[in-house]
Amino acid sequence: MKDWKKWAFLFIVTISVAFTGQAQDATATTLYNEGLASLKSKDFEAGYDKTKAALAAAETEENEKIAKLAKKNLAKAAYYLGQQKLKEKAVEEAMSLFDEGIEANPDYPALYKGKAQALNAKGQSVDAIKTYFKSAELSEKAGKSEAAAKTIKKAGSVVSKLYSGKKYAKAIDAGKAFLEVKDSHKVHYYVAKSFEKQKDKANALTHINKAVELAGAEASDKYYWAQGNIAEKAGKKADALAAYKKITEAKYKENAAFKIKELEGE
């Protein structure tokens, strides 16, 4: 893990500080190095506590070098301990840790990703989407495009999971928040299906048509089947027929053929 290599480097740097600095710097330096050792051994709770103590000591001693290093490691410690708390279902504790980490180092993308997970766990899906995008923005700024893409994918999964969980109104709100920042055929699809479940034919049709348009050659028969169904319910017979006729997969083919025959027979 690259973070541990960075911490190892900082450990060497601060040992040098300990030997060359004034005696009054020893407390902050010692606490910092103890915290670093705990983090390297993945004892995140101890690492967090000691690093936080190191920062407080460094500020008291006006040791700017150790304070700067401690802030960076406090952000990392807060992230890893926050992830541990999320696994333990201690969402509020995790949220506090992520916020504290962001205060220490507001440019660390992982903290926003962790906070987005906590927000989503609390049912605040729109805020979770926005926070995922903040994380992705910082990753892009740091030249980590792959990490940014993975984070955006996580944001999209918030929408699909809300739809799968039959939380259609929340799926629509979360989907809109996503689409305000970035177009996505997958998100349009789940928003369309959510509107369909709420019997909002006009919005369902708008979003499924956009999903098919954006997907282009990647549009699957699942999209065409949904487009046909929604168009049919909206009274758009020609559009429904056109969608059903594009279906080739066995999973939908028989039902599509029935629909075509039914619509052409009217």
Hey, what domains does the chain have and what are their CATH numbers?
Answer: 1-106 (no CATH), 183-266 (1.25.40.10)
The residues, ordered by sequence, that sit 6+ positions from 139 with a Cβ below 8 Å of its Cβ are 109, 145, 147, 148, 151
- Neighbour-count burial of 157, counting CB atoms closer than 10 A to its CB (0-12 exposed, 13-18 middle, 19+ buried): middle
Report pLDDT digits (tens) over 146-203: 999 999 999 999 999 999 999 999 999 999 999 999 999 999 999 999 999 999 999 9
Report pLDDT digits (tens) over 91-115: 999 999 999 999 999 999 999 999 9
Q: How far apart are CA 143 and CA 126, in angstroms?
A: 26
Report pLDDT digits (tens) over 46-91: 999 999 999 999 999 999 999 999 999 999 999 999 999 999 999 9
Report pLDDT digits (tens) over 48-59: 999 999 999 999
14: pLDDT strictly greater than 90: no
pTM: 0.86
Q: What is the pLDDT of residue 26?
A: 52
Up-side HSE of residue 120: CA atoms within 13 Å toward CB?
A: 23
Q: How many CB atoms lie within 10 A of CB 140?
A: 16
